[in-house]
Chain A
Amino acid sequence: SAVISQKPSRDICQRGTSLTIQCQVDSQVTMMFWYRQQPGQSLTLIATANQGSEATYESGFVIDKFPISRPNLTFSTLTVSNMSPEDSSIYLCSVEGVGVRLEGVPDTQYFGPGTRLTVL
């Protein structure tokens, strides 16, 4: 299984500022995923980050608000820009398991511990 760490684990930020969240994996992975988990809601995919290419954003999420970097195969960052209280959430990064079945279906996705963000 992959071991994923995130920094910071939590933060309290002021409206209008930006926060960069780091995700480090203990092995090289092709794709990394960034999710948001708002209070009482399910996990929602923000974007998929491949090393060496632009991140792919899901509907409702834009690069100007959530810029992502993927400088190598073990590291990624997600920035939450110009924050508002609606951005208060848990942000999680994840990677696919190394075991892959037929048709490219991963055996799982592993998640980091999350970053709990509160915007005042």
Chain B
Amino acid sequence: EDQVTQSPEALRLQEGESSSLNCSYTVSGLRGLFWYRQDPGKGPEFLFTLYSAGEEKEKERLKATLTKKESFLHITAPKPEDSATYLCAVLPKGGATNKLIFGTGTLLAVQP
């Protein structure tokens, strides 16, 4: 069964304290891995799509990497405005539709 696990469930950082969020996945085949940011009361906001192991993408203080079994979202020198829930989703091979399978997310709190 296709599965996505995110860790930690919650993370509290001081402003400027870099860290990484983990997304491990078990799928029969990976077509794509997606990272989203979700603020309270809002829909998920797209951050990155990664397609193959070794791929990396960056946006401001965020950098996403992908291996054959997991993805990391590295946050460098975070600011309070980076506080949000970060969601990881995979698009497995097979199936009639492009169905995303989501993890439960990591709740990030950055304190000034």
Q: Say yes or no: A110 contacts B46, CB within 8 Å.
A: yes
Name the contact of A103 in the complex, choosing from B31, B49, B100 (C-beta under 8 A): B31
CB neighbours (8 Å) of B49 from chain A are: 107-108
B93 and chain A: residue at smallest CB distance:
A103
Q: Say yes or no: B32 contacts A105, CB within 8 Å.
A: yes
Chain B interface size, as a band, is 20 to 34
A1 to B47, CA, bound (A): 12
- B44 contacts the other chain (CB 8 A): yes
Q: Which of B44-67 contact A (CB under 8 A)?
A: 44-46, 49, 51
- B104 contacts the other chain (CB 8 A): yes
Closest Cβ of chain A to B6, distance in Å, is 9
B89 and chain A: residue at smallest CB distance:
A43
- A58 contacts the other chain (CB 8 A): yes
Q: Say yes or no: A42 contacts B102, CB within 8 Å.
A: yes
- B75 contacts the other chain (CB 8 A): no
- A60 contacts the other chain (CB 8 A): no
Count residues on chain A whose CB falls below 8 Å from chain B CBs. 31
Name the contact of A105 in the complex, choosing from B36, B51, B97, B103 (C-beta under 8 A): B51
Query: What 19 new A-B contacts, CB under 8 Å, besides A101-B32, A106-B98?
Result: A1-B46, A31-B98, A33-B99, A41-B104, A42-B4, A42-B103, A42-B105, A43-B87, A43-B89, A43-B102, A44-B102, A45-B99, A103-B31, A106-B32, A108-B34, A111-B45, A111-B46, A113-B42, A113-B43
By a beta-carbon cutoff of 8 Å, the part of chain B in contact with chain A is: 4, 31-32, 34, 36, 41-46, 49, 51, 87, 89, 91, 96-100, 102-105
By a beta-carbon cutoff of 8 Å, the part of chain A in contact with chain B is: 1, 4, 31, 33, 40-45, 48, 56, 58, 92, 94, 96-97, 101, 103-114, 116
